[in-house]
C-alpha cells in the first residue's frame, strides 16, 4: 500500500492545516477577549458600587462631623456662659466667713449696747 501525494496537494493540506489552526486560534482569542471584557465589566460595576457606598459613608461621616462640631461649639458656648455667670452665683468660703464675721460682730455690738441700756435703766431706775 503506497500513498502518493503530489506537491501541490501537500501544499494545500498544509495551508488547510494552518488555516484550521488560525481559525481555532482566532476563536480561542475571541473567547478570551469576551471573557476578559465580561470580567472587566464586572470589576468596573463592583468598583462603581463600592465607590457609591464609600461616597455615602463619607457623606455620612461628614454630616456626623459637622453635627459633632456644632455640639462642641454649643458646649463651649455653654461653658463660657457658665464661667461668666459663676461669680454672680458663687461665693467663696473665705468671703462667706468674712461676711458672717462682720454680721456677728455687729450683732455682738448691738447686744452689748442693749445690755448697757438695760443696765443703765436698772441703775437709773433703782435711784429714782
In this predicted model, which residue has the larger pLDDT, 99 or 5? 99
Largest Cα separation within the chain, whole Å, is 181
In this predicted model, which residue has the larger pLDDT, 98 or 126? 98
Residue given cell 463600592 in the structure block:
50
CA–CA separation, 11 vs 5, rounded Å?
10
Mean pLDDT estimate for the chain: 91
pLDDT at 126 over 80: no
CA distances to 57, 70, 108, 109, 111 from 121, rounded to whole Å, are 92, 74, 20, 18, 15
Helices and strands per DSSP (H, E), number in the chain:
2, 0
CA distances to 4, 108, 111, 117, 120 from 114, rounded to whole Å, are 158, 10, 5, 5, 10
What pLDDT score was predicted for residue 127? 61
Overall average pLDDT of the 99-126 stretch: 89
CA–CA separation, 23 vs 29, rounded Å?
10
Overall average pLDDT of the 57-63 stretch: 95
Amino acid at each position: 500500500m503506497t500513498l502518493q501525494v503530489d506537491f501541490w496537494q501537500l501544499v494545500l493540506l498544509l495551508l488547510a492545516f494552518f488555516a484550521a489552526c488560525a481559525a481555532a486560534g482566532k476563536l480561542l482569542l475571541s473567547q478570551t477577549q469576551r471573557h476578559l471584557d465580561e470580567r472587566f465589566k464586572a470589576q468596573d460595576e463592583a468598583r462603581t458600587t463600592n465607590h457609591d457606598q464609600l461616597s455615602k459613608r463619607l457623606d455620612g461621616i461628614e454630616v456626623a462631623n459637622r453635627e459633632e462640631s456644632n455640639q462642641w461649639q454649643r458646649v463651649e458656648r455653654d461653658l463660657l456662659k457658665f464661667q461668666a455667670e459663676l461669680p454672680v452665683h458663687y461665693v467663696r468660703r473665705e468671703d462667706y466667713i468674712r461676711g458672717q464675721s462682720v454680721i456677728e460682730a455687729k450683732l455682738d455690738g448691738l447686744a452689748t449696747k442693749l445690755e448697757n441700756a438695760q443696765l443703765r435703766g436698772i441703775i437709773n431706775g433703782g435711784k429714782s
